[in-house]
Amino acid sequence: MTEEEMAWDLSQLVENTDPAFIQKQLKHMVAEAEKFREKYRGNIGDLKVENLLEMFEARDDLILQFEGAVKYCFLRYSANSTDAVAKQLNEAARKSYAQVGQAMAFADIELGKLLSDKPLLTDEPVLAEYKHYLEKISRRTPHMLSETEERLVILKDKNGISAWEMLQSDWLSTRTFDIEIEGQMKTLPYGKMVGLYQGPNRDLRRRAYQTVYENLGKDEIIWASAVRAVCEDHIQTSKLRKYPDPITQSLIANDVDKQAIDSLMNVIEKNVGSYQRYLTIKASLMDLPKLTNYDLYAPLPKAPDKEYSWKEATREIVAAYENFDRQISAWIREMFAKRHIDGEIRKGKASGAFCSSWLAGKSAYMLQSFNRRMGDLFTLAHELGHAIHAYLYARAQKPSNCHIGSCIAETGSIFGELLLAEHLLSKAKTREEKQAILAHILDEFGGAAFQVSARFFMEKELYSAIAQGKFLDGETVAKHWVAARDKISGDAIDWLDVMKWEWTKSPHYYMANYRFYNYPYVYAQLFVYALYRLYKEQGKEFVPKLKKILAAGSSKSPKELSAELGFDITSEEFWQKGVKQAENFISILDETMSD
């Protein structure tokens, strides 16, 4: 396979790739957004339902018309930041995009006012396609402050909470750490130190964690001040906004309700034993009496060193999806054939992987640096799962219904990874191969469903500590962290003492308007594992149900959608199905040990 076939073809996004033409398109987009503003600003309250519909459709059309040009700029830059033209286009697109956002911001505010006067508007048959969009605005509106107050909140955050966030991020990106590697002293930035956590050398892993967290711990006074200020600020702002609970803001933002999240987290708490069972099995696969925190995400020592060519990767991924559904595998083939995937490794390319939907093309583009390892195969399956999600909702929904909430956003992607795991397991010839596949998915599941839950439990404890008038110094926050962490892992993991400072490195604790950011990760894992369990129970009958969930985009709340398909996310019984599926994988792994 040539290099060219591993690089994406972005020319399909635009009529003409001439930078001057694209710049012109961006200007045209801003002008159209301003026209929209002139036409509707100050008038939304007086519009008839038919005209409201017209307004929604005009806005959606505007998105579809210019989406390709904006996407072209962003994607070209992410594929190669050293490309001077891409850099210019990226800047221009960012600026234009922000201008459009500002020009259109009035609409939701005016809709909010209209909806508080006429709450029944959400039931208007003419606006049926926009029903849930309106419902979401209705849910937010009672917590909005006056325009002046909202502006003050933005100003206060800019030099308040956001300054803490910047401080934490600057700390991580500017500090260096001294560490000995193969007999040589090295001075490494944080990003490189993190890279050592998953390496094969156990002693180096231990020293990497020790060095990073020792240093973070030395500045505990900064992190504690920051966390205290962020939590206090959230409590005060929640009072002003009349949120009944510190978690309410996040529930509204994620389009979920408290009952579902309570059930989810209860199920996690009740099933820590299953996770600990996996940790014990992983310890014996690593020939250790017990795991330490620096073994948690380490590769299995006997994992096969298998490499995959791009061609082999393509074949395996298509086959994995084909077992599930032919329409889906045809779309996967199309992603490869039309070169919507950038897998090539090159200088200046964005790190990590992502998938970006292309609504107007009813398709998507994805990027990763393909390093030929099994992990890269899983990344490919994951991002293509996002692409399939986009293929389905772009066909079924207006752009206003394509704002996928974070609890649902990973449904296609994690499901795709499970399909790949199933396919690879069916082909695996040795038990080491099987163990590597199962450990890969269970490490990910355990990390996102269980380890991440510790952050949720700690956050909850911090708010009740403050409510009880307790002062949160560094050692006190660390105590809450250790308690939350141990609730999850019990005594299945030995932690280095310095790991009590683990909470200090999570950026989200320092971000403005980002409280209770973690449970969507837990939700996503358990939701997909539960769906996969249903697939195993119901077989082909389940396929259209998953497609319906993905095709719904954001046109329905997760609760409503699930109810339509016959399951109840507010019940613990549903979430328990997810655990049951994980237990099934754990048992298969356990059996390989006695093969």
* Residue closest to 198 by CA, chosen among 115, 88, 297: 297
| 400 vs 413, beta carbon nearer Zn ion | 413
Q: Which is nearer to Zn ion, 390 or 552 (CB)?
A: 390
Instruction: Measure the CA–CA gap between 273 and 277, rounded to whole angstroms.
Output: 6
Q: How far is the CB of 386 from Zn ion (least distance, A)?
A: 6
- Residue count at the site for Zn ion (CB under 5 A)? 1
Q: Which is nearer to Zn ion, 230 or 384 (CB)?
A: 384
Please state the closest distance from residue 565 (CB atom) to Zn ion, in A. 22
Closest separation between CB of residue 410 and Zn ion, Å? 5
In angstroms, give the least distance from the CB of 382 to Zn ion.
6
Residue 147 CB partners (closer than 8 Å, separation 6+): 109
- Under the binding rule (CB under 5 A), the answer on residue 400 touching Zn ion is no
In angstroms, rounded to a whole number, what is the distance separating the alpha carbons of residues 61 and 134? 18
Q: Are 532 and 415 in contact, with CB atoms under 8 Å apart? A: yes
Give the nearest distance from C-beta 353 to Zn ion in angstroms. 8
Instruction: Indicate the residue among 271 and 413 with the shorter CB distance to Zn ion.
Output: 413
Q: Report residue 62 as tokens.
A: 């505007």
Long-range contacts of 366-371 (CB under 8 A, 24+ apart): 366/335, 366/340, 366/341, 366/342, 367/8, 367/75, 367/78, 367/79, 367/341, 367/342, 368/341, 368/342, 368/343, 369/343, 369/344, 369/345, 370/6, 370/310, 370/313, 370/343, 370/344, 370/345, 371/345
Q: How far is the CB of 233 from Zn ion (least distance, A)?
A: 30
Q: How far is the CB of 553 from Zn ion (least distance, A)?
A: 16
Give least dist CB 409 to Zn ion, A. Answer: 7
Phi, psi (rounded to 5 degrees) for 223: -65, -40
Q: How far is the CB of 405 from Zn ion (least distance, A)?
A: 13
Nearer to Zn ion among residue 81 and residue 356 (C-beta): 356
β-partners of residue 188 are 177
Residues 413 and 577: their CA atoms lie apart, in Å, by 19
Residues 6+ apart with CB under 8 A from 39: none
Which residues, in sequence order, are CB contacts of 195 under 8 Å at separation 6+?
A: none
What residue is closest to Zn ion based on CB? 413
Region of residue 516 (left: phi > 0; alpha: psi -120 to 50; beta: else): left
Secondary structure of residue 356 in the 3-state scheme: strand
Q: Which is nearer to Zn ion, 86 or 414 (CB)?
A: 414
Binding string to Zn ion for residues 332 to 371, with x set by CB under 5 A, is what?
----------------------------------------
The alpha-helical segments, DSSP class H, found in 300-409 are 310-322, 326-337, 374-396
Identify residues 406-435 at the interface with Zn ion (CB under 5 A): 413
Per-residue three-class SS string for 83-113: CHHHHHHHHHHHHHHHHHHHHHCHHHHHHHH
Minimum CB distance to Zn ion, residue 370 (Å): 16
Which is nearer to Zn ion, 329 or 413 (by Cβ)?
413
Residue 76 or 382 having the CB closest to Zn ion: 382
Site for Zn ion in 445-504 (CB under 5 A): none
Instruction: Give the nearest distance from C-beta 508 to Zn ion in angstroms.
Output: 17
How far apart, in whole angstroms, are the C-alpha atoms of residue 206 and residue 496?
Answer: 8
Task: Considering the complex, state which of residue 394 and residue 586 has its C-beta at the smaller distance from Zn ion.
Answer: 394
Instruction: Specify the residue, 90 or 413, whose C-beta has the smaller distance to Zn ion.
Output: 413
Angle, CA of 197, 198 and 203, to the nearest 5°: 60
Supply the minimum distance, in Å, between the C-beta of residue 283 and Zn ion: 29
Assigned token pair, 152? 């003050």
Closer of 22 and 341 to Zn ion (Cβ): 341
- Alpha-carbon distance values, 363 to 113, 117, 321, 387 (Å): 35, 39, 17, 7
How far apart are alpha carbons 135 and 115 in whole angstroms?
A: 9
Q: Name which of 365 and 457 has its Cβ closer to Zn ion.
A: 365
Query: CA-based angle 268:446:576, to the nearest 5?
Result: 35
What is the binding site for Zn ion (CB under 5 A)?
413
